Structure formats: C-alpha cells, structure tokens
C-alpha cells in the first residue's frame, strides 16, 4: 500500500490492539465447523467445551437479529482478504462472511471450478499462465456488485492489475508465522510449498511489500482463534461501511450545494 493509503485507512484499532489468547493454547470452540489443519486431532477440554457451549448459546440467542440490524453497515462491495499461503484467508473469510451475513467467495475455488486443480494447472501451464488467469478471475469477482467477502490466493498480489483494482476495496491482510504454517498438515495442496516447505519465509519476504501496499489493516492469525478474529474483523468491516456511508453523504450534500 502507498503510505497515504495506510495512513488514511489503517486508523482503526485492530492492528495496534494487543491480541489475546494464543491459538495453540486457546479454546477451540466445539462448534468449529472444519477441522483445524494446525491443530489436527485436538479435542477441547471439558472446561473449553462448557465455555464454547455457553458462548454458542449466547450467540444463538442474538445472532439473527444482530445480523439484520447491522447489515446496513457492511460496505456494499467486496471486502478482500489477502495474505501468505495458509495464513487463514479461506477459513477466516468463511467465518467473517457468516458473521456479517454476506456471501463468501474464494478466488482459488473459482479458479478450480473454471480451470481445474491448481497443482495440475501449475504443472501443465506454468506459473505465469496461472497468474494471468488468476488475475482475470479476481477482476470478474471484484466487478460483481454487492457486499461480499472475497479471499484471494496467496500470490494474487503479484499481479499489478490486481493491486490496482484492490485500491477501490477495503483490504484485510492476514499474517502468520512460518512456525505456525509448518504445523499445517496439508502442504501438498500448496504447490510452491510442497517440495520446499521452508520456502514460506522466503516467499513472504518477497511479497511482504506487495501485501503492505494493498492492505488497509492487518490481523495476526497465529495469535487468536478464528472465532475471535471473525468478530474483530467484522467490527472493522462495519466501521469501514459506516465511514464510506458518511463519505457518500458528505459528497451528496456537497454536490447538492454546488448545484443550487
């Protein structure tokens, strides 16, 4: 991101706020839908399960009305998640969308639907062709109207046109550490890491300036649970919605004033 973009749009508390509850020791709520690749086979303790059940029932009692009430504040365009491989874009994106009551799109999944498995595509056509088509897939998704959460592939920011397009959208960077990622079981799904797992840090070093260029806010996914992050990210997204609505109202009254 340009310095001005970050200064103007990264003013919210999440990046600066101390993040509690390291995920490796934090409760993993029992209602968690997908198994956690970084915590394979982990079962919650009785205490965690009780707390999770209480939290679930508290949420259950509030969830629908709260969502409806707050929905108007979600910006009416794609809110985009970027970040390195296995940072949690897909799994957190899905939860964030559910929290906000808006659709979720994963551009890796769209690519697979339209062009087949990414690993095979890399092998058959090479990375440059993958990047070209990936950028087209992303452009089409960002052009769709309406509030949505869109998770991009880890290397999507390499394409300059994608970075340009992201300037019009609220962009969340999810960041983690090599240590946390190397505990992720399913490296075989990630072609660039499969044969050289230690490459994660090197690849991140190359891409970090590009992530920073496009991001408005950063959340660390190795320091909080998905549930905690989904709530915090949802707060940030709603704040963006309010900010944009206020900007639009100001612009409308300015242009009405000019036409009088």
Ligand X SMILES: O=C(O)C1=C[C@@H](O)[C@@H](O)[C@H](O)C1
Ligand Y SMILES: Nc1ncnc2c1ncn2[C@@H]1O[C@H](COP(=O)(O)OP(=O)(O)OP(=O)(O)O)[C@@H](O)[C@H]1O
Q: Which residues contact ligand Y (rule: CB under 6 A)? A: 23, 36-38, 83, 85-92, 108, 153-154, 184, 190, 221, 224-226, 229
- Contacts with Mg ion by CB under 5 A: the residue count is 2
Residue with tokens 């991001």: 215
CB of 84 to ligand Y, least distance (A): 7
Q: Is 190 annotated as a binding residue?
A: yes
Residue 36 binding ligand X, by CB under 6 A: no
Residue 88 binding ligand X, by CB under 6 A: no
Residue with tokens 């915090």: 232
| CA–CA dist 185, 248 (Å, integer) | 46
Residue 85 binding ligand X, by CB under 6 A: yes
Any idea what DSSP says for residue 152?
P
Q: Is 131 annotated as a binding residue?
A: yes
Q: Which of residues 130-189 bind ligand X (CB under 6 A)?
A: 153-155
| CA–CA dist 26, 98 (Å, integer) | 22
Q: What angle do CA 61, 65, 71 make, to 5 degrees?
A: 135
| CA–CA dist 165, 72 (Å, integer) | 24
Q: Which of residues 81-110 bind Mg ion (CB under 5 A)?
A: 89-90
83 Rama sector, left if φ>0, alpha if ψ -120 to 50, beta otherwise: left
Binding-site sequence positions: 86-91, 108, 131, 154, 190, 207
Binding site for ligand X (CB under 6 A): 85, 108, 118, 153-155, 190-192
């Amino acid at each position: 991101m340009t310095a001005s973009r970050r200064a103007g749009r990264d003013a919210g508390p999440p990046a600066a706020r101390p993040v509690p509850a390291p995920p490796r020791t934090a409760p993993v709520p029992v209602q968690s839908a997908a198994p956690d690749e970084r915590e394979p086979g982990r079962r919650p303790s009785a205490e965690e399960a009780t707390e999770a059940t209480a939290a679930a029932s508290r949420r259950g009692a509030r969830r629908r009305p709260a969502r409806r009430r707050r929905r108007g504040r979600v910006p009416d365009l794609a809110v985009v998640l970027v970040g390195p491989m296995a940072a949690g874009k897909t799994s957190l994106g899905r939860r964030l969308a559910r929290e906000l009551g808006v659709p979720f799109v994963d551009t890796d999944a769209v690519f697979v639907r339209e062009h087949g498995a990414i690993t095979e595509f890399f092998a058959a056509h090479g990375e440059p062709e993958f990047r070209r088509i990936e950028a087209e897939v992303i452009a089409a998704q960002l052009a769709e109207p309406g509030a949505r959460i869109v998770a991009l592939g880890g290397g999507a920011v390499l394409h300059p046109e994608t970075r340009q397009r992201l300037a019009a959208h609220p962009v969340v960077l999810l960041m983690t550490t090599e240590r946390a990622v190397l505990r992720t079981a399913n490296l075989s799904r990630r072609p660039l890491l499969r044969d050289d797992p230690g490459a994660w840090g090197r690849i991140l070093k190359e891409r970090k300036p590009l992530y920073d260029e496009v991001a408005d806010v950063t959340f660390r996914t190795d320091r909080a649970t998905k549930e905690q992050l989904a709530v915090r990210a949802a707060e940030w997204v709603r704040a963006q919605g309010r900010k944009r609505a206020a900007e639009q109202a100001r612009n409308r009254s300015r242009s009405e004033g000019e036409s009088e």
